[in-house]
């Protein structure tokens, strides 16, 4: 749809061809492989567009900067899996005042199919109310756990869809 062909009047939109309620558009924030850090400080290989663990099994973390008040719809993980072990990806929220950590979204691969893939998780737990971003009290971050070392399990990045 050509944006120059819309006229916005209050909550209604005049589109060429008639009136209608505006569609709720979603935005994405992408966290590329280069944003991830090793935790604890053991080996990681950064191939520019992907990352994997090199020595001990462990996890990577990356900060997530979402707009305050945004409603998180889902997370999408872009990865390569050619191993019987899995990659586990979680989006966490940490309350700065109570130091509580809450896992909001979780994905696990277990395909070993020698192919690039992506997976989507739209289920927010513990409750749907946790989808709303509260930057004044909470910090958000991704955690990626690799069940094995080597380049048979790689992550390219994570996209978070929100309104």
Alpha carbon separation from 3 to 18, 68, 117, 142 (Å, rounded): 15, 26, 33, 34
Domain 26-162 architecture: Sandwich (2.60)
Residue 6, pLDDT > 70, answer no
Residue 158, pLDDT > 80, answer yes
- pTM value is 0.76
Higher pLDDT, 5 or 74: 74
Nearest to 90 by CA among 107, 70, 74: 107
Note the pLDDT of residue 39.
Answer: 61
Domain ranges of the chain: 26-162
């Amino acid at each position: 749809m050509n944006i120059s062909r819309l006229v916005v009047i209050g909550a209604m939109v005049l589109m060429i061809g008639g009136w209608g309620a505006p569609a709720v558009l979603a935005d994405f924030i992408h966290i590329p492989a280069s944003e991830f850090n090793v935790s604890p400080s053991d080996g990681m290989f950064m191939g520019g567009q992907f990352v994997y663990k090199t020595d001990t099994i462990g996890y990577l973390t990356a900060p997530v900067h979402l707009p305050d008040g945004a409603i998180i719809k889902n997370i999408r993980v872009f990865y390569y899996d050619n191993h019987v072990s899995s990659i586990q990806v979680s989006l966490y929220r940490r309350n700065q005042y109570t130091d509580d950590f809450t896992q909001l979204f979780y994905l696990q691969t277990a395909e070993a199919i020698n192919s690039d893939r992506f997976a989507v998780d739209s289920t927010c737990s513990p409750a749907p109310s946790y989808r709303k971003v509260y930057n004044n009290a909470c910090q958000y971050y991704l955690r990626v756990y690799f069940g094995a070392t080597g380049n048979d399990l790689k992550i390219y990045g994570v996209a978070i869809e929100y309104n």
